[in-house]
Amino acid sequence: MSSSSPSEPAHAGDANPAALRAELERYRHWIPQIAAVCRAVAEGNLEPRLTRIDVDGELGELLHSLNHMLDLTDALLREASATMAYASRDRYFRHILPAGLRGTYLRTAQLINDATDEMGRKSAALVGAERRRGELATAFEHSVHGVVQTLSAAVTELQATAESLKGIADHTAQKAAAAVVVSDRSSVDMARAADATEALTVSIRGTGNRIAESSALAHTTAQDVERAGSIVQELAECSGSIGRVSGLIQKIAGQTRLLALNATIEAVRAGAAGRGFAVVASEVKALSNQTQEATGDIGNQISRIQVATDEVVRAIRRVAGTINEMDRHAASIAETVREQTEVTHTIGVSVSAAADSSRTVSGNVSEMVQAAEATSGAADELLHAARGLSQLAETLAVEVDGFLRQMRHD
């Protein structure tokens, strides 16, 4: 019988039973160990190995190949674990070394390395995005806080303005209400003044009419006095021929008496200015009576008549001058009264217009009171809105702070 080498397996054609039994014993020895290692690997333990391999041939190659496969798998898993451990700490430079890897092992290593690089890029992008988000959050915080501060300052100023506006409106309403009372009182006073001015105008107009009548009467009296002077002058001229006809003297005496009576009446009408003329008229009357009573003594009285006639002429001239002066003064007074009437009428019109204006002003002031009260109400609403806006600004600041804290923590 020929014996086979221990490193060469026996074949069915070999007729050496001892070699077959030895081969079978080797397989029986290693197969349980192979199964144990495979079970450990299946349970996640890559540490076990097939040791003390003392066989050659196909069985030895199988045992060494299994150990080599376990070494490659263990190395790949250890490298992948280390790479992932570094990646978990945001360190993506750790790669699986591809030396000695082939096939699926090499592709797996390259895939893990590519995934690590991609995670590094995405992590960098994420860090940049996070930094950008932080910058945006900070900028947003500054902007919102600036807006809130500006809004708070504006609300504070708005509240101060509203309070000031309300104070001004209330003060204006009080003053306007007082002005309404004064304006109404002024309107009543002006209406009374207008009525008094109108009454004064009527009175002055009546006085002017009476003065005009007095002026006309004085003018008529002046004409009468002038005519009386002419008559007396004629009497003086005729006094030289009195002696020729007694009847003529009697007639003249009667006329003189009549004229004296008229002169007395006119003197009474002339008032104080005609007192002297009344005296003269009385003397003429007395002279006329004496002439009638003493027609027989005409010659003796001619000289006295002439003297008296001269005095009468001078007195009449003085009276005529006085009456003319009175006429001029009366005309001047009438003109003054006319002007005063026009002025008083103008004053009355102005006072009436002022009364109307005062009533208009009173109405306007009443409207101003209503406007001031409305302004005060609007100021109250504005103040209420400003306070609500201030509360909203505070709420906005709190909500924004909470949002930013949550965003930064996320």
Its pTM surpasses 0.75: no
**What span, in angstroms and rounded, lies between the C-alpha atoms of 152 and 410?**
30
Q: Which residue has the higher pLDDT, 380 or 331?
A: 380
Q: Which of 65, 94, 123 is the last residue of a domain?
A: 94
Domain count for the chain, please give it.
Answer: 2
Average pLDDT over residues 169-189: 76
Name the DSSP letter for residue 271. Answer: G
- Using alpha carbons only, give the angle 299, 301, 304 rounded to the nearest 5 degrees: 135
Asked if residue 267 and residue 355 are part of one domain, the reply reads: yes
Same domain, 313 and 176: yes
- Cite the DSSP H helix spans in 57-102: 57-88
Residue 25 lies in domain: 17-94
- Give residue-wise pLDDT tens across range 314-349: 777 786 787 778 777 767 877 876 787 787 778 777
Q: Which residues contact 239 (CB under 8 A, 6 or more apart)?
A: 302, 305, 306, 309
Q: Which long-range contacts (CB under 8 A, 24 or more apart) does 186-191 make?
A: 186/358, 187/355, 187/358, 187/359, 187/362, 190/351, 190/354, 190/355, 190/358, 191/355
Express each pLDDT in 230-246 by its tens digit. 776 776 677 666 666 66
- Asked if residue 407 is part of any domain, the answer here is no
Residue 153 covered by a domain: no
Q: How many Å apart are CA 11 and CA 73, to the nearest integer?
A: 34
* Amino acid at position 308, single letter: A
Identity of the amino acid at 21:
R
User: Of 20-24, 354-358, 387-391, which has the strongest mean pLDDT?
Assistant: 20-24
Residue pLDDT, tens place only, 33-69? 999 999 999 998 888 999 999 999 899 999 999 999 9
For residue range 102-120, list pLDDT tens digits in order. 888 889 988 898 888 888 8
The answer as to whether 69 is a domain residue is yes
For 240-282, the pLDDT digits (tens) are 666 666 677 778 778 887 887 887 888 788 777 777 767 777 8
Q: Is residue 375 part of a domain?
A: yes
Q: Is 197 within a domain?
A: yes
> How far from 324 is each of 210, 222, 327, 335, CA to CA, in Å?
18, 6, 5, 16
Residue among 25, 18, 24 at smallest CA distance from 3: 18
Average of pLDDT values for 11-33?
82
